[in-house]
A and B are shown apart, each in its own frame.
Chain A
Amino acid sequence: MEELANLFHGFAVALQPYNIMLMIIGITLGVIIGVLPGLGGANGVAILLPLTFSMPPTSAIIMLSCIYWGALFGGAITSILFNIPGEPWSVATTFDGYPMAQQGRPGEALTAAFTSSFVGALFAVIMITLVAPLVAGFALRFGPAEKFAVYFLAFCSFVGLSKEPPFKTIAAMMVGFALAAVGLDSITGQLRLTFGVTELLNGFDFLIAVIGLFGIGEILLTMEEGLAFRGGNASINLRVVLQTWRELPAYWMTSLRSCLIGCWMGVTPAGATPASFMSYGIAKRLARRGNNFGKGEIEGVIAPETAAHAAGTSALLPMLSLGVPGSPTAAVLLGGLLIWGLQPGPMLFVEQKEFVWGLIASMYLGNLAGLIVVLTCVPIFAAILRVPFGIIAPLILVLCAIGAYSVHNSTFDVMLMLVFGVLGYLLKKCNYPLAPLVLAIVLGDKAEEAFRQSLLGSQGSLGVFFSNGLVSTIMALGLVALFWSPIQEGYSRLRTSLA
């Protein structure tokens, strides 16, 4: 019951007027970020991170995490009204949300989407509240080998679970590791991979990479496609909301299933996007009116939104308890922790109780605030999308430049951002996943440190990663995840040959 007391203490922290104000600001900014093309959760948070350097860490994380929730909510607005997914995880929402809007039921679709998002997030936060302290307590016993095994598992899951070709995932991920290695080696203090360039002494900052890859890259992709809005009008009134709310409980089974899919995909770093697709696909197969999916079925909005939000939220569980972020945005938040002088990982639950529980409490409140904000302000947010791209695009580019500059007060970083942007555009067009690249830049140093420390303990024998039950289990899970698609293929081939 100590957790409950901690949680209440957390609520006391989160309910301070200053923090509530930051929460509302964060949610509003987040929805705007989610609505605008080219500004996503990850790089939106990255751009705004420098603004929080002078804040107390708890207030800072509350604001930044609320931006994240806001972005998750915001993606649905553009999907339903304009058939333009503001975020990759809301692509699946367009399948049924946009037809609903066209049939004159935008209010119903939006209410269903927002409410499902809230339900998914709530489910994930409750899970975090219950599970995170246990995981963290367990992880306190981890040595370097176990730590490396956890990183290994996280990165292998990317290879096994992502829909991109495995070797492209591996290539992108390893490029991230290589970029992380540039500069001062933290163990020996030796310089490496700098090739005499002084700007590279401190290595590549992943914030620059995030802003470039996700921000600039996305703008370039949008430029290529050319934007033409054919959007419907948005209006939600209380009657529609209440009427939709009366309908929703009938779909509790879909909700629960989507919550579970979302949490699973969020904790393993597959992320919100595959979770939303998977949940939509399963709902389509199992629903009684499955044949109607794609023609404006409310269940087709509930399933992906619930899963995406559950996944986005539960991505913070491994970040808080293990120091392994489950999504690019969680990775940016983790980078924030380091900048504010906090050491992510299980020790947070021991040393920074106020921070951790303040954050967890703010997740409950932030999502509730988010639900209220989006339900009441949809027309305003939809109006933002009517501002033509010719005005929005240069402003976003300037914002990205400001964000990149203020990370280290360096104009070299701004140029680097552009390079990452062009690279992100090309990689994305060629189907290389960007999330593992970014996560590898964030975790590269830590993974390497754990790896080398374990080898140091074992005099260079790789047997240390299979030296006890715990580490062997995690490593074995990692290997299963790594070879997941061949395993699956072999299994189905076996079944057909037996049948």
Chain B
Amino acid sequence: MTKAHVNKLDNQDLSALLDGEQPLSNEEIALQDTATLGRYALIGDVMRAESEDAFVLDISDSVAKALESEPVYADFSQKQDAQVAATGTDNVVAFNWRKPVAQLAIAASVAMFAIVGVQTLPQGEDSPANEIPILQSTPLTGVASPVSYSSEPALENAEQGLRELQQQRIGALVLEHQRQARIAYSLEKAHTKAQAEEEKN
């Protein structure tokens, strides 16, 4: 079991669904009551730093009021706007790195993005790619995998868990490749330089 798996959120499925990372299934939605769904949507909006007037969901006023009296974790009100206007030039990049909450939320979803962005190989008729089996990255809803023929929910869960592990791993590998590739160019230059010097000696 990896650490990431243990730290899984209770309602990760719902969270992923609202982030557009999981296919919509009616049962899942039906399981959630309206209040929960609304709350998750609100959390999503706040984390994505959407402005107050962009809350399109009918969130009750009481929630908004309650939020006002909460300590401020991520302040997107005018107070900050004024601050930005005054010290705005401090920021080289358009990104606001001072939002730890948003950062956390994004971190959690990045792993998923890496997978969702990956598609299976296009299959040509006679192409050699045909010989290569294609990994099932996201489970197809409604299609039974061999294991789920068994009525044992435990087995099904195990299969699901494994798939998640593999998805996590592939996401981690792709990210790592991207990062390592950044130093490739300078490494290569250092290598060719060293080689040239060796040849000289």
Q: Does B bind A?
A: no
- Which residues in A have some Cβ–Cβ distance to B below 8 Å? none
- Which residues in B have some Cβ–Cβ distance to A below 8 Å? none
